[in-house]
Amino acid sequence: MTETPIPPRGPLSDVRIVELGGIGPTPFAGMVLAGLGAEVIRIERPGAQVSAANTILLRGRQSVAVDLKQPEGADAVLRLIDSADALFEGFRPGVSERLGLGPDVCLARNPRLVYGRMTGWGQDGPLAQAPGHDINYIGLTGVLHAIGPASGDPVPPLNLVGDFGGGMLLALGVVSALLHARATGKGQVVDAAMTDGSALLLAMTHGFLAAGQWPEERGASLFSGSAPFYTTYRCADGEHVAVGAIEPQFYAALVRGLGLADDPVCAVQQRAPGSWPAVRQRFAEVFATRSRDAWAEHFAGTQACVTPVLSLTEAPAHPHNAARGTFLQEDGPLRPAPAPRFSATPATATRVSPKAGEDTRSVLAGAGLTEDELDRLIARGVIA
């Protein structure tokens, strides 16, 4: 079932993009771009099935099933590329070239084309051909080392930093190159690597490091959870609250709200790391006396920066998320709404993912393939 779409008035509504199948960051980039109004045509292999877990990540596309390993299949995709503004792929370096769909071939046919390439390690370097996943990429750039408690092991931040930080980098790279292509008439290749993206996200951390304000020891920095004013606390019901009272005035509101303004344990300088373990223990004792929601209500309207830690299924019902429509729930599964928001060209509320190959005939016919050609390709198993 699909939701009723808003007319495609997003800022990318005049952009056509071909997406060569893939997992993780590549379909995420396609989802973001489709949500901003782009016409995204995803190329799947014949017989592919859209898993339940990918129905949200693959939303907003047209789906064309083509066997790229057959020359006629690659040729059909090249016909699509002739009228496309951009193409992106998530293969290992060299795979697109072996399929006859490398950037040299595509840009020769369509000089204005933006050709996006998404990999873990990048198109060159000693590890370019090595397998890997998010955890490997963020491990190599220092991200993973910095996350986790001082007394424990590094903790993967889901796959948000490498995979989806990388996918966002690809989307930004494609849009940036599209601006250049429209100004100059010349396309180019965008090399988006998850290692590069995760390193880029560390820019502020490297600033702290250069200033001598970021210890190499895990769990010892302000943002690592060791500071009593920037961490989470377990409440009486086993749920948690998040505390982000970094600035002095917010910290003062936190201490007052906890009833600890006159407590000698808390009568210390906020930025004195030596006192943090004792202060955190005192805060933890107080937070453990009430439920999460009781604390959320208690601190509502204050400047203490205390908020509930909500589960994935609880988050959409929070009044702030509900008021902004941060999540969509009607006519389909719970899912995040497109973002960011535009005043003149609202992002498109895209449909849930199509079935693999459901748009094959209509899309390829639009690219100039005749009915006879389509019938022949279907009979040969080139398209489905």
**Same structural domain, 368 and 255:** no
Confidence of residue 5 (pLDDT cuts 50, 70, 90): very low
Same domain, 173 and 99: yes
CA atoms within 13 A on the CB side of 70: 14
Report strand pairing: 39-44 vs 114-119. unpaired
**Predicted pLDDT of residue 4:** 45
C-beta separation of 276 from 284 below 8 A: no
Same domain for 255 and 345: no
Residue 98 included in any domain: yes
Please name the residues in contact with 330: beta carbons below 8 A apart, sequence gap of 6 or more. Answer: 3
Does 314 fall in a domain? no
**149 and 287 fall within a common domain:** no
Quick one: 196 and 54 in the same domain?
Answer: yes
Residue 9 domain flag: no
Q: Could you give the percent of the chain with pLDDT greater than 90?
A: 83
pLDDT band with cut points at 50, 70 and 90 for residue 348: confident
In a domain, residue 40? The reply is yes
Please, are residues 119 and 96 in contact by the beta-carbon 8 Å criterion?
A: no
Of 281, 308, 335, which residue sits at a domain end? 308
**169 and 44 housed in the same domain:** yes
Q: Are residues 291 and 260 in the same domain?
A: yes
Phi/psi for 244 (5° steps) reads -135, 45
Rg (CA), the chain: 25
d(CA 23, CA 11): 25
**Same domain for 140 and 20?**
yes
What is the tens place of the pLDDT at every residue in 197-227?
999 999 999 999 999 999 888 988 889 888 9
3-state secondary structure of 234: strand
> Which among 248, 273, 308 is the end of a domain?
308
Question: How many structural domains comprise the chain?
Answer: 2
Q: Is residue 313 in a domain?
A: no
User: pLDDT-based confidence at 351, cuts 50/70/90?
Assistant: low
Task: Return the structure tokens found at 2.
Answer: 């699909």
Pair 176, 119 in one domain: yes
Residue 350 confidence (pLDDT): 67
Q: How far apart, in whole angstroms, are the C-alpha atoms of residue 37 and residue 230?
A: 38
Positions annotated as catalytic residues are: 133, 163
The stretches of 127-188 forming alpha helices (DSSP H) are 134-140, 165-184
Of 59, 96, 101, 95, whose CA–CA distance to 80 is shortest?
101
Q: What is the pLDDT of residues 243-291, one digit of tens each?
A: 999 999 999 999 999 999 999 999 889 989 899 999 999 999 999 999 9
Instruction: Please indicate, yes or no, if residue 190 is contained in any of the structural domains.
Output: yes
pTM over 0.85: yes
Q: Is residue 127 part of a domain?
A: yes
- Is the same domain home to 121 and 259? no
Q: How many residues does the chain have?
A: 384
Locate tokens 């390993």: which residue?
69
CATH number at residue 292: 3.30.1540.10
Query: Residue 9: pLDDT above 80?
Result: no
State the pLDDT at residue 49: 83
3 occurs within a structural domain: no
CATH number of the domain where residue 65 is located: 3.40.50.10540
Q: Tell whether 37 and 95 lie within a shared domain.
A: yes
Q: Which domain holds residue 38?
A: 16-201+326-379
Q: Are residues 73 and 186 in the same domain?
A: yes
